[in-house]
Amino acid sequence: NEQIVLAKRTEGIPQDDVFRYEEIDVREPSSDEVLLKTIYVSVDPYMRGRMNDSKSYTQSYELDKPFNGHIVAEVVQSNSSELQKGDVVTGVLPWQKFITINQKYVTKIASNEVPLYLYLSVLGMPGMTAYQGLLKIGKPQEGETVVVSAASGAVGSVVGQIAKLKGAHVVGIAGGSEKVNYLTETLGFDEGVDYKKDDFAEKLEKAVPNGIDVYFENVGGELSDEVFKHLNKFARIPVCGAISSYNLKGEDIGPRIQQTLIKNQALMQGFIVAQFNEDIKEASEQLAQWIQEGKIKSEVTIDEGFDQIPNAFRKLFTGDNFGKQVIKVSE
Ligand code: NDP
């Protein structure tokens, strides 16, 4: 068996020396425990914050202890009355090839009919984040303009598609022509704007002739400073992430936004997906139905091999992932 532990804390994009591979034993499951074989590992931007030793909404990873995150795994041995050999489960689990854990920490997947990695994207935490942040805080109305950044990614792609289902004019911001074309051609967004191009500001202005009613914030930084120039009266800004600053070595500074918010009587609200857990069931069922009906599509980048996890993680910050980034560890 093998695991990956946090070897050291770091600044900037975590390099290989932050991730230490260790050989460990496979432990037999005792009462109420199962032995799991890891199939898919999810890497997510929030993990960057957990590598720091600072207070946040999730606990820091501990030095010399395994990383953990959302995983899809198969039960290979069971000492639990709830789960059987062959069942597929998800949970927040340690980065190990084989995991022995109490059954209460995992959830059996709802259906084997869909690709399993969907439980790490639309049918998992990112899909839930998109659904809750957009509908509970953004509250898009028919005919309104919704803008989303990191638009081709795990969260952003779902935000834009749900906004379309609600009848909004949807504009996605992403890096590079392949991603931008995907937004309009595959996902059905009204407009895609490439923030890496010099004409970003002009293209954005053209894409939002009626201003912006909802800005689903995933990125922060200069990109968002540009977006804020187009806010409408009573605009809503669910602040989901600020990925452009996760690896900054210094402070993140920019224009102050208070006056813009006052002038527009706008609402800007940070959130974390877990705060909306009370109606998780209804939200999961709705997302599953949209997937089944083909109303929500999703792209995935699957890298193969346990040894690829650090590299796959870094791709989130270079934009080399396309859609949800996962790692396939076993069949
Ligand atoms: P993605 O699948 O969107 O992958 C990350 C993408 O971010 C990259 O592909 C890249 O896209 C973009 N990106 C990276 N660095 C920059 C940068 N400096 N400037 C602009 N874009 C950048 O990741 P997720 O969908 O999983 O996460 C999206 C956001 O949602 C993150 O900020 C994350 O922290 C947040 N989040 C928040 C949650 C919450 O509960 N609040 C829960 C889950 C996610 P491109 O090629 O287009 O630049």
Strand, helix or coil at 270? strand
Question: What are the extents of the domains in the chain?
Answer: 2-120+299-328, 125-275
Question: Chain-wide mean pLDDT for the chain?
Answer: 97
Q: How far apart are CA 290 and CA 285, in angstroms?
A: 9
CATH topology of domain 125-275: Rossmann fold (3.40.50)
Share of the chain above pLDDT 90, in %: 95
Kindly tell me the sign of the dihedral angle through the C-alpha atoms of 159, 162, 164, 168: negative
Backbone angles phi, psi at 253, to 5 degrees: -120, 155
* CATH number among 3.20.20.70, 3.90.550.10, 3.90.180.10, 3.40.50.300, domain 2-120+299-328: 3.90.180.10
Question: Which tens digits make up the pLDDT trace of 158-189?
Answer: 999 999 999 999 999 999 999 999 999 999 99
Using the atom order of ligand 1, give the atom closest to the CA of residue 126: 43
Residue nearest to atom 9 of ligand 1 (CA): 319
pLDDT at residue 112 greater than cutoff 90: no
pLDDT tier, 56 (very low <50, low <70, confident <90, very high otherwise): confident
Model confidence at 212: pLDDT above 90: yes
DSSP assigned state of 103: G
Nearest ligand 1 atom to the CA of 173 is: 47
What DSSP string runs through 130-177? HHHIIIIII---TT-EEEEESTTSHHHHHHHHHHHHTT-EEEEEESSH
- Which ligand 1 atom sits nearest the alpha carbon of residue 325? 2
Taking the centre of ligand 1 as the mean of its atom positions, its distance from the CA of residue 155, in whole angstroms, is 8
Q: Give Cβ neighbours of residue 253 (< 8 Å, ≥ 6 apart).
A: none
**Residue 35 scores a pLDDT above 90:** yes
**41-50 tens-digit pLDDT:** 999 999 999 9
User: Which residue has 């034993």 as its token pair?
Assistant: 25
Tell me the best of 243, 246, 320 to mutate to test the pocket of ligand 1, counting ligand atoms within 8 Å of each CB and taking the most: 243
Residues in contact with ligand 1 (CB, 6 Å cut-off) = 44-46, 126, 129, 150, 152-156, 174-175, 179, 218-219, 223, 240-241, 243-244, 271-273, 316-317, 319, 321, 324
Q: Is the pLDDT of residue 85 over 90?
A: yes
Bridge partners (DSSP) listed for residue 267: 236
Q: Count the Cβ atoms, other than its own, within 10 Å of residue 254.
A: 12
Q: Residue 137 carries which side chain, given as an amino acid letter?
A: I
Nearest CA to ligand 1 atom 32: 241
Distance CA 89, CA 102 (A): 12
For residue 47, which phi and psi values (nearest 5 degrees)?
A: -65, -25
Percent of the chain past pLDDT 70, that is, above it, reads 100
Residue whose structure tokens are 């990614």: 153
What is residue 167's predicted lDDT score, i.e. its pLDDT?
Answer: 98
What is the 218 CA–ligand 1 centroid distance (Å)?
6
Token pair recorded at residue 101: 């854990």
Q: ipTM exceeding 0.95?
A: yes
Q: Alpha-carbon distance 159 to 150, whole Å?
A: 10
Confidence of residue 111 (pLDDT cuts 50, 70, 90): confident
Nearest residue (by CA) to ligand 1, atom 17, is: 244
Phi, psi of 147 (to 5 degrees): -115, 140
